[in-house]
Structure 1
Amino acid sequence: MVNDSAGAVPFAISFDKAGRMPVAEAKDSTVSTYKVRADGTLRVVQKSLPNGQDTLCRLERAGDFFYGGNTGNSTVTGYRTDRHGKLALTNDVGVATPPSAKSQGVIDLAVTKDQKVLYVRNATSGTVDGFRIGRNGSLAKVGTTTGLPPFAESGMEGIAAV
């Protein structure tokens, strides 16, 4: 089954609690949301919501919130979803957490099973940041693990959380 994308360069998908499918679109750092029909076709629920950042490449869900990793400028964007599957930014600037000197090259995200912590893999700096997820979707940094091989040295990607 082939479906046209509502946005340019679809890169990562996730699913909300109702089975709708938000898709991160890298070219313009946008997210579109789809409902998957029984026949495999997609119906657009929401067209390309921009986050104002650079190169959205990852998307992870934590309850009613989604977090997007913007590789181009090393930021994480927060989104909240309503009961109809429409997304909105958790704040007006599109950044749930800004980059730091130790956190460059956001490449992968993972949420713990209890949906209380978000981990962010930073490929350029070889670090992982941990964030506590607030009730309103805000992120509070709890620490940074250093000493991982940077992407250029190892090609290492991926992160998992339990």
Structure 2
Amino acid sequence: MIVAALVSLAGTLGVAGPASASDGPSRRGGTTEGLVFVQTNNFLGNSIRVYERDGAGVLTFSDEFATGGLGGSTLNPPVDPLASQSSLVYRDGLLFAVNAGSNTVTLFRVKGTELERLQVIWSGGLLPVSLDVHDDLVYVLNAGGEGVVQGYRLDDDELHPIRGAQRSLGLDNPNPPPFGDAPAQVGIDPEGEVVLVTTKSHDVIDAFRIERGGQLSKEPVGNPADGMPFGFTFDHRGGVMVTLAATNAVIRYELDAENGKLSAVGPAVPNGQMASCWIQRVGEFYYVANAGSSTISSYRIGDDGQVVLIAAVAAKGDGGTIDMTTSGGFLYVQNGAAGTVQGFEVLDDGALRLVTTATGLPQAVNEGQITTGMEGIAATP
């Protein structure tokens, strides 16, 4: 189902006209209260565009900064070249970006609206697509070939590879891998005890124990997850909310950090959309980007701990909704086909109200077996 939906969408991308050259609407008289970062994933030179956010959620383009690396693509992705979640991450004044085309990771310091490039370092594998940060630990997911997780220690704003923190997923994929077979996301639990990795078509969520010094357990615990597990987020009640891209659903798990086991809390809850891949928490609400139908669905957690669908279509995207972030209580969504970022106000009942659209970003364009276009979005709180 996901392949059919995305291939149908992909057929329209090669003939799509260029987006408006505008960098977004002008600010409505407000002062800067936050920043939103968008990764261009440019094959000739990856870069980060910085947008200022005012109190009304409106974005205004500020500047663009080169990562010192190259963008990349999985094989045959329709609107999401990296086919992943969390390829750009902000933490405590630092910004981390993957350079999929050059197998590197870039570390920036955020200084006002400026990005100071501190380091470009090997990702530990092929085609890095996702990363996560917890205190002084950073883990990078490389999707190419066997699939590799590489751990780093962050010391004095510099990344240092951790011996014993490079682990294979044993996927036996080519490089680059088909988008459906590439692992999608790496994430560290809030207590800093476990690293999770979703493997999409392999229908497994791998769990590595974080051991002394940031080393990872030699073998992961493989948790079956039928339905193509893609994006996930740790929820406000101590669980994990995971999207299932093939069944267009969300499922919730409890994580036993001692043994790496995930236990489903109730059944997966479908939304009736197409290609449900990315998930973002805003307060007690959870939003899912559906690339195939260019919509956003909304969920919450019920009193019994199970997933509850609020609205199958909480908002409509401009075309090919992909990765998301939150800043100041607003939800910001990348539209890969349209080359835009939409910003929504989150209302008290979880409904979404469009407040801003940034245009002129790189659109997804199919070129043979690869797709050029932006992917990766992050923000200050």
Q: TM-score, normalised by structure 2?
A: 0.39
1:158 aligns with 2:361: no
Name the CA distance, whole Å, in 2 between partners of 1:52 and 1:32: 14
Name the CA distance, whole Å, in 1 between partners of 2:246 and 2:238: 25
User: Conserved in 2, the CA contact under 8 Å of 1:130 and 1:143?
Assistant: yes
Query: Which residue of structure 2 lines up, in the alignment, with residue 105 of structure 1?
Result: 320
Structure 2 SS opposite 1:73: coil
Name the CA distance, whole Å, in 1 between partners of 2:303 and 2:376: 30
Corresponding letter in the other structure for 1:118: L
| Stretches of structure 2 lacking an aligned partner (at least 5 in a row) | 1-220, 366-370
User: Which of these two proteins has the greater Rg computed from alpha carbons?
Assistant: 2
| Correspondent of 2:353 among 132, 140, 145 | 140
CA-CA distance at 1:84 after TM superposition: 3.8
Name the CA distance, whole Å, in 2 between partners of 1:141 and 1:148: 18
- Deviations along 1:78-104, one digit per CA (max 9) or x if unpaired, are 11112443221113xx010024xxx10
Point out the structure with the larger strand share. Answer: 2
Corresponding letter in the other structure for 1:107: I
RMSD over aligned Cα atoms: 1.3
| Correspondent of 2:239 among 6, 15, 20 | 20
Query: Which residue of structure 2 lines up, in the alignment, with residue 87 of structure 1?
Result: 307
Corresponding letter in the other structure for 1:44: A
1:23-34 maps to which residues of 2 (within 5 A)? 23-34=242-253
| Stretches of structure 1 lacking an aligned partner (at least 5 in a row) | none
Structure 2 SS opposite 1:124: coil
Name the CA distance, whole Å, in 1 between partners of 2:253 and 2:345: 28
**After the TM superposition, which of the residue ranges 144-153 and 35-44 deviates more from structure 2?**
144-153
- Deviations along 1:98-140, one digit per CA (max 9) or x if unpaired, are 24xxx1010111111x4x1000100011000000001111100
Number of positions where the alignment pairs a residue of Structure 1 with one of Structure 2:
154
Query: Which residue of structure 2 lines up, in the alignment, with residue 66 of structure 1?
Result: 286
- Higher relative CO (Cα under 8 Å, sequence separation at least 6) belongs to 2
- Deviations along 1:15-67, one digit per CA (max 9) or x if unpaired, are 11122011100001011110001311111102210001001010010111000
Query: Which residue of structure 1 lines up, in the alignment, with residue 70 of structure 2?
Result: none
Query: Which residue of structure 1 lines up, in the alignment, with residue 255 of structure 2?
Result: 36
User: Conserved in 2, the CA contact under 8 Å of 1:151 and 1:157?
Assistant: no
Name the CA distance, whole Å, in 1 between partners of 2:335 and 2:268: 26
**After the TM superposition, which of the residue ranges 122-131 and 81-90 deviates more from structure 2?**
81-90
Extract structure 1 runs of 4+ deviating beyond 6 A. none
Relative distance call for 1:85 and 1:15 in structure 2 (3 A) is: farther
**After the TM superposition, which of the residue ranges 33-42 and 78-87 deviates more from structure 2?**
78-87
Give the % identical residues.
Answer: 38
